[in-house]
């Protein structure tokens, strides 16, 4: 199948195709995702929690992400591989460029970073140097200490206004894709309606341009943490791992996932 490219993301959005994204960290699963309707694989720093067993993503290293990116890239032909900049790998634009270069050389086609603020300069710096960037706003897990836990973001007028402004700013800085995590559905819908770039939701309601879930969560594995409301076990319906991935892709595409049950009210 023809590989998904960065410019395809806007084309697919325009065509009304919901972007289907899952996290993945190894070749075995990556091959199954590549063949069953997934458009983008995120080599997420969630690997700190689901692979390494930590309580947060903060200890994940640049080498960890580069290693897992190479594992995923070796087994995929169609999906666009997005590699996560781990905690403080984007503390300066120069550091982010070094890490991103390693990820692209390992086979990624895009990198993701959390936040706006000073990160806007980093987004601009990377994009000017031919590194495609996915932004990530809302519940940014690398902010867990400041947030005091994994909590819904963007509630209340001031927080919602800040999120709307940040969403426009990351696109202005050159990001080509925007993940919105754990924000009220109505706010994610408003942002998606005005966003120049496609949005991908996780706990952000049904109106984003695409969806992402952590692979282990959508296969019903016990994470050792309280299961967030936006998770659905697709292995239960899918009957097999390939079936679960296909069921997820179909559900995102036909709008049967996520529902209000998987979403947050304002």
Which residues are the active-site residues?
A: 181
Residues 6 or more apart whose Cβ sits within 8 Å of residue 79:
3, 4, 30, 33, 34, 38, 39, 40, 41
Q: Is 84 annotated as a binding residue?
A: yes
At its nearest, how many Å lie between ligand KIV and the CB of residue 42?
6
Here the tokens at position 144 are: 């867990």
- The rounded distance, in Å, linking the Cα atoms of 50 and 222 is 9
Write out the H or E segment, with its range, that includes residue 147. helix 144-147
Q: Is 114 annotated as a binding residue?
A: yes
Q: Is 185 annotated as a binding residue?
A: no
Stretch that binds ligand KIV, among 9-17, 41-49, 68-76, 225-233 (CB under 6 A): 41-49
- 60 φ/ψ sector (left φ>0, alpha ψ -120 to 50, else beta): beta
CB under 5 to 8 A by kind: which of Na ion, ligand KIV, none does 214 bind?
Answer: ligand KIV
Among 39, 64, 166, 181, binds ligand KIV (CB under 6 A): 181
214 touching ligand KIV, by CB under 6 A: yes
What is the footprint of ligand KIV within residues 15-34 (CB under 6 A)? Answer: 23
Cα 184 from chain centroid?
17
Contact at 8 Å (CB) between 129 and 97? yes
Binding residues for Mg(2+): 45, 84, 114
Annotated binding site for 3-methyl-2-oxobutanoate: 45-46, 84, 112
Contact positions vs Na ion (CB under 5 A) = 44-45, 84
Which residues contribute to the site for ligand KIV (CB under 6 A)? 23, 42, 44-46, 84, 136, 179, 181, 202, 212, 214
């Amino acid at each position: 199948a023809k590989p998904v490219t960065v410019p395809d993301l806007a084309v697919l959005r325009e065509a009304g195709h919901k972007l289907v994204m899952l996290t993945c960290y190894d070749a075995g699963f990556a091959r199954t995702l590549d063949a069953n309707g997934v458009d983008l694989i995120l080599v997420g720093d969630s690997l700190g929690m689901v692979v390494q067993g930590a309580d947060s993503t903060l200890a994940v290293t640049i080498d960890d992400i580069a290693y897992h990116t190479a594992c995923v890239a070796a087994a995929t032909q169609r999906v666009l591989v997005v590699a996560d900049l781990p905690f403080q790998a984007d503390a300066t634009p120069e550091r982010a460029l070094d890490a991103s270069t390693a990820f692209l050389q390992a086979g990624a086609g895009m990198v993701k970073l959390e936040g706006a603020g000073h990160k806007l300069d980093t987004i601009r710096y990377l994009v000017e140097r031919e590194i495609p960037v996915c932004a990530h706003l809302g519940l940014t897990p690398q902010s867990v200490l400041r947030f005091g836990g994994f909590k819904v973001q963007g509630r209340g007028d001031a927080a919602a206004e800040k999120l709307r402004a940040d969403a426009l700013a990351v696109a202005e800085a050159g990001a080509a894709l925007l993940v919105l995590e754990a924000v009220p559905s109505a706010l994610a819908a408003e942002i998606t309606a005005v966003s120049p770039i496609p949005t991908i939701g996780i706990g952000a309601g049904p109106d984003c341009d695409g969806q992402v879930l952590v692979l282990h969560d959508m296969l019903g594995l016990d994470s050792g943490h309280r299961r967030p409301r936006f998770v659905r076990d697709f292995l239960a319906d899918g009957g097999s791992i390939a079936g679960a991935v296909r069921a997820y892709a179909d559900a995102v595409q036909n709008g049967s996932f996520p529902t209000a049950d998987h979403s947050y009210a304002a």
